[in-house]
Structure 1
Amino acid sequence: MTVTLLFFFYHFFVIQCATVEERKKFNLHENRKIESVSENRLPAIRGRSSETVHSLKTWFPTNVLECMSWECVCDHVEGAKWIKKTCHMPGGTIMRKEVRKEYRMLTISEKRIYRRAFLLANKPGGIYNILSNAHSDSSLSPAAHNGPHFLPWHREFLKRLIIGIRLIEENGKYPFASVSLPYWDSSLDDHMRERLNISSTNSVLFSPHLMGSVVKGILVDGDFAGFVGNHGHTRRELDRFGRKIGLLKRQDVERMVNSYNITGVLSAAAGSSRECTKKLPRNALELLHGNAHVWVGGSMKLTRNATNDPIFVLHHSFVDMLWERWRKKKQNSKERESQWNDMTKCYSSHHKSSAVMKPFGLLTGKDGCSNKYAEMTSYSPIPKCHSFCRSKYLYCHEGYCVSRLKPNGQCRIINRIDPCYRSKCTARDGHIGYCKPYKTLQSIRDTKKSVRQKTSKKQLRLETCFNMHECCNFWGKQGECNKRSNAMSEACPLSCGVCKAKTYNNRDDCTDRHFNCEHLRKLGGCKTSYPFMAENCRKTCGFCSRRRNQNCLAPPSVKQILHSKKTAKQARVKLRSLFT
């Protein structure tokens, strides 16, 4: 059923959306027999026609991929109901506005379901397989690159991809109706090259834990190990050109968002004369985006093969995010849909505002600037340091959340902050070392009795059993663990016996139980997270002058317990990156 539906997507994407003249120009690579496919499998909205289409104001979709709202998509699904800005799909799943997150911010379940959906979409006849063919062939997509159509064309590409993914059907259900495309903020990885003076290839993103590592140029592990696209296995040649070509820098991103005009954003990247090339901003968005393609290398380096790497979607999702940030900051609602790069002599006729974005039916470049896209998709920003970066793959450095380093990769410690993921940097402060995995460290320490103290510090770093309130011991003695077991087990797991502390004595009233108390204090945790800090960082915060139970003269109220339970969940999210 899944393959059948995706095959119909191909039919409407390439054939139904085109005029008769355009269809003759299409090069259907895989000799698909489209004549036998019924044209009624993906019906248009009831009672509507699209025969005379000139703008989005009078334009109605002839198939689901042309929809410009999730309500329209919902209307195409038999048995689905649109209620209060959400689509209730057959099988019980919910489809609503897409929210794109940085890949390192995805939960385990979000990452797992996206991976599964993407692999299905990549199968022959799947929506990603179809879109990849269009991207690879310049005769099908003459305006996809080197001009103002670049951004709107890829925005439509991503829109059709997520619609196709969400409508993958399995046994009459739509298990991917809530999936969103993630993005890759490569400035998080460029930070280590700029500030730590080590290659961005050491990022945890390019490790078995996330987007995978390569052996002899082939992707061998990670979330998309062994991925095979339209042009064979995914290949990468990370950072082949050293300091000459890098990823997007935070400074370049902010400069683009804050200062560029429409000519710099919807740029004529190729240029047709010296005059055009001189007027082109050095950090035009299309050119900046190209640096990441070259840096990743392999499949990503050439346009015809770029979609062969799953990171292609993440990268272009980030580029689209930057464009939307600029639009909201520099343009009002009307300007977003009307302004265009008017230097027509600097780009081909395919990039004019009125030119059709082939092969996306009758949509023009101006249509690709519609505000309707923002109504379908939003972006979750990268978290700030004050929220503990909210990801075990990120850490705070120089006021910004940046990527951690992969085990066995190079590392450098600055201001005594260890940047390694599930490993420890072997270097002294300011020097270069490598991230030694914890298991390797433990085996070395076990063979040397003289380093027992270091082993204790290693265990302290991995301690995960903490009470979330200074009154937990008092409440436990009052029998609250039995009276309110569910709430107390969340707020006071140590006092209620849910877990056991390995590195500290629960009776000690003047000690730092958490390994990173000093860092938390600098972030203002002694005030903003008082209950947690009064329990676990008493020495650093100066709370040793009074006993823990001094303010715990009465059993907790139900409201107080529930608040502690909520605080416990929030604290675990905030501190998760510090426990690993």
Structure 2
Amino acid sequence: MRGIYFILLWLLVLLFVNCQQRFMQNCDEAPTPEAKQVCFMLQRMARNSSRHRPNKPVHRIPSPPEFLRPAPIQPNARGQIASHPYDCMTITCLCPFFRGSLGPENQCILPNGQLLTMAYRKEYRMLSEDERLRYHYTLQILKQSGEYDRMTYEHQSVGQGSGAHSGPGFLPWHREFLKRFEIAIRLIDPTVSIPYWDSVLDSYLPDPKDSIFFTPLFMGENDEFGNVVTGPFAYWSTIDGRPAILRSLGEKGKLFTEYDIADILAQTQIEQIMAYTAPLNDCPYQPMFTALEYTHSFVHLWVGGHMEPPEQSSNDPIFYSLHSFVDLIWELWRQNHQSRWARETQYSQDIEQCSDPQHFSYANMRPFNLINRDESTCSSPYLFCDSRIIPHCVSKIRFGGVCSGFEGLDACFNSVCVMGRCVAGTPPTVPFVPQSQMPVVQRTQIKQQHAVRIFVNCFNQEPCCEQWAREGNCQSRKTEILKICSAACGKCRPAYNISDECTDRHVSCKQWKSEGRCSRNPDNFIAENCRSSCQLCAVKKNLQCQKFKTVSFSFLQKC
């Protein structure tokens, strides 16, 4: 018996060693100590992604062919309408959250008469004095509200076990994360954007630590222990319990150089940009130690302190400016090497030996309501994009029509494809007319009441939630009901009076009414949260409610 125990123990040790060694050959080939450190770091995060992957199969199976992959996006998941501003993809969607009104050309007119324009990102040191101070002020307000730390926790928790690092999903995931952060600061001051940090400008100096960037005017200075003690972010507490941001400038890593940028922009294949940075030994693509995910990691190491470990890096505001520059480099490559069609469709191949499946093109971009390769649109409410095999436009199907094979795609006009038929559901996306140019905006003083306004995402998804809560379902059916009745069940604290059922609870209600969403079979979210605008107050909600059943929500769509 004792001999069997030692045999089993030895087998476990061998299994552990094999799991640890499957990446080792590639890291040993790294050209520099910094590259080797980043290599091991990316592989560690890749292992974490594999461990934390939801519903991980017991056995690895080959990737399905393109035409058999499940349609990954639900109708209206592209941010044309949204219950939370972070989910928006257009200014039309964002407008109500800024208390704006739509003009005749879909432009968003703010209460002060100015337009809500696209964010325009500049190099940090190219900001005017007014622009820089406004940006610093919005970060202070965001930090005081707790939203800055919440997003830091999000990057920490999801970044370690998702498609955020160690593979092709790195660039699109961080683009979405930046977008959400930028919306957060623009809700405080609509004129600001995330400035990018072009560290090439600092790499020319005899000692980059002497750059003006690390003075009280910008990122602040460190004391002898590495604590940031001057500047706009002095003594910012961090989520790991420290009283100040920690940095150790120049002890490891390196900054971007002209050669790095030129080398990245000279690449011609998508796999060289959205690279496999933690491949297994049998991956046909060898790791590129000059890939953008690697070179950006060297800058993380150069800043050091909280910026060194990826799970802590967003504690430091430098994180957002560094990634804004990374996003610029990626966009320059896209504009130089891809057509518009290619930018919308091309993605690195889905090879399980090269990256965790959470990096695959059709995988959910956790925790966001997106997939890694979002669907294209056909710029018409009467067409949808069939993205299987070669993406192409197809006519939408009328209500009640047969939609077999298109389940999950936005194939049905004003409805959704369920069990092969177009039935009542979330309406289609609204065409958006982009603005041709960004007008000059007269900068005005920020109003304090606007600056502290943070959107509260606390809504019921069903009109019957309050009735079900009174029946005790929040306790007896907790797992099912909390997903759809978070306000009624006390999971969150709403910003509206929950006892008044005849009111508009969401800021977008008036806009949704003007778009006709009240008159054409309003979905459950609108029927619950826009009762005044949609004139649904004549009949009390509880008179139309049945007993709570889990099966009722198998096709519930999020607005």
TM-score (norm 1): 0.50
The answer for the alignment partner of 1:473 in structure 2 is none
Trace 1:26-105 onto structure 2 (pairs within 5 A): 53=74, 60-82=81-103, 84=105, 86-105=107-126
* Structure of higher CA gyration radius: 1
Determine the structure 2 residue equivalent to 1:220.
229
Once the two structures are superposed, residues 182-238 of structure 1 have per-residue CA deviations (whole angstroms, 9 ceiling, x without a partner) of 00001111122xxxxx22112111122321110120111123222233233211000
Give the alignment partner of residue 327 of structure 1, picking from 334, 344, 351: 334
Higher relative contact order (CA 8 A, sep 6+): 2
1:200 partner letter: P
- Partners in 1 of 2:151 and 2:320 — Cα distance? 11
Give the secondary structure class of the aligned counterpart of 1:96. coil
Map 1:427-446 onto structure 2 (within 5 A). none
SS of structure 1 residue aligned to 2:144: coil
Alpha-carbon distance between aligned partners in 2 of 1:121 and 1:371, rounded to the nearest angstrom: 37
Distance 1:139 1:184 in 2: 22
Distance 1:78 1:203, change over 3 A: closer
Higher helix share: 1
1:347 aligns with 2:355: yes
1:182 aligns with 2:203: no
Assess if the C-alpha contact under 8 Å between 1:94 and 1:177 holds in 2: no
Check whether the contact 1:190–1:247 (CA below 8 A) recurs between aligned residues: yes
Whether the aligned pair in 2 keeps the contact of 1:240 and 1:297 (CA below 8 Å) is yes
Q: Tell me whether 1:153 sits opposite 2:173 in the alignment.
A: yes
Contact preservation (8 Å) 1:212, 1:222: yes
Q: Kindly provide the CA deviation profile for residues 347-390 of structure 1, in whole angstroms up to 9, marking residues without a partner as x.
A: 011100000011112x00002999999x79999xxxxxxxxxxx
C-alpha distance after superposition, 1:404-453 (max 9, x if no partner) = xxxxxxxxxxxxxxxxxxxxxxxxxxxxxxxxxxxxxxxxxxxxxxxxxx
Q: Does 1:137 pair with 2:157?
A: yes
1:273 Cα deviation from its structure 2 partner: 2.0
Aligned counterparts, 1:363-512, within 5 A:
363-367=370-374
Report the secondary structure of 1:237's partner residue.
Answer: coil
The 8 Å contact of residues 79 and 88 in structure 2, kept in 1 or not, is answered as: no
CA 1:283–1:167: 2 relative to 1, 3 Å = same
Q: Tell me how far apart the structure 1 counterparts of residues 119 and 437 of structure 2 sit (CA, whole Å).
A: 6
CA contact (8 A) 1:98 1:376 kept: no
Q: Residues of 2 paired with 1:134 and 1:335: CA distance?
A: 31
3-state secondary structure, aligned to 1:218: coil
Please say if 1:202 is aligned against 2:210. yes
> Runs of 5+ in structure 2 lacking a partner?
1-51, 56-71, 380-431, 439-559
Q: Would the alpha carbon gap of residues 206 and 104 (structure 1) be closer, same or farther in structure 2, given more than 3 Å must change? A: same
* TM superposition shift of 1:258: 2.3
What residue in structure 1 maps to residue 251 of structure 2? 240
Question: Structure 1 CA distance, aligned partners of 2:248 and 2:301?
Answer: 9
Distance 2:201 2:217 in 1: 17
SS at 1:229 equivalent: coil
Equivalent-residue separation in structure 2 for 1:177 and 1:368 (angstroms) = 28
Q: Which residue of 1 aligns with 2:315?
A: 308
Instruction: Judge conservation of contact 1:123–1:129 (CA < 8 Å) in 2.
Output: no
The share of aligned pairs that are identical, in percent, is 33
| Partner residue, 1:359 | 367
Paired residue type of 2:357 = S
Q: Which residue of 1 aligns with 2:260?
A: 252
Q: By how many angstroms is 1:63 displaced? A: 2.6
1:371 to 1:358, Cα distance in 2 relative to 1, 3 A:
farther
Report SS of the residue matched to 2:132: helix
CA offsets, 1:465-505, max 9 Å, x none? Answer: xxxxxxxxxxxxxxxxxxxxxxxxxxxxxxxxxxxxxxxxx
Helix, strand or coil at the partner of 2:120 = strand
Deviations 1:216-275 (A, max 9, x none): 20111123222233233211000113xxx2111111101111224210111121222265
Please give the alpha-carbon distance, in whole angstroms, between the structure 1 residues aligned to 2:144 and 2:436: 25
CA shift in 2, pair 1:368/1:272, >3 Å: farther
Structure 1 match to 2:290: 283
The equivalent residue for 2:186 is 166
Match of 1:299 in 2: 306
Q: 1:205 to 1:165 in 2, by over 3 A?
A: same
2: distance between equivalents of 1:129 and 1:318? 22
Q: 1:152 to 1:105 in 2, by over 3 A?
A: same
**C-alpha distance in 1 between matches for 2:199 and 2:342:** 29
CA separation in 2, counterparts of 1:376 and 1:348?
38
Question: 8 Å contact 1:97–1:378 — kept in the other structure?
Answer: no
**Whole-angstrom distance in 2 between the partners of 1:234 and 1:71:** 37
Deviation for aligned residue 1:340: 1.1
Contact 2:350 2:360 in 1 (8 A): no
One-letter amino acid of the counterpart of residue 122, structure 2:
K
RMSD of aligned C-alpha atoms?
A: 3.3
Residues 317-370 of structure 1 show CA distances to partners (whole Å, capped at 9, x for unaligned) of 000000000000000011111111115120011100000011112x00002999
Is it true that 1:111 corresponds to 2:119 in the alignment? no
Distance 1:376 1:219, change over 3 A: farther
Distance in 1 between the 2:437 and 2:167 partners? 25
Q: 1:164 Cα deviation (Å)?
A: 1.8
* Counterpart code for 2:183: I
Separation of aligned partners in 2, 1:377 and 1:159: 20
Of 243, 253, 273, the residue aligned with 1:265 is 273
Amino acid at match of 2:249: L
* Structure 1 residues 370 and 200: alpha-carbon distance in aligned structure 2, compared to 1, 3 A threshold: farther
Amino acid at match of 1:240: E
Give 1:137's aligned amino acid.
S
Unaligned runs of 5+ in 1: 1-21, 26-50, 169-175, 193-197, 380-580
Residue aligning to 2:552 = none
- Name the counterpart of 1:230: 239
> Number of matched residues?
314
Contact 2:134-2:192 at 8 Å conserved across structures? yes
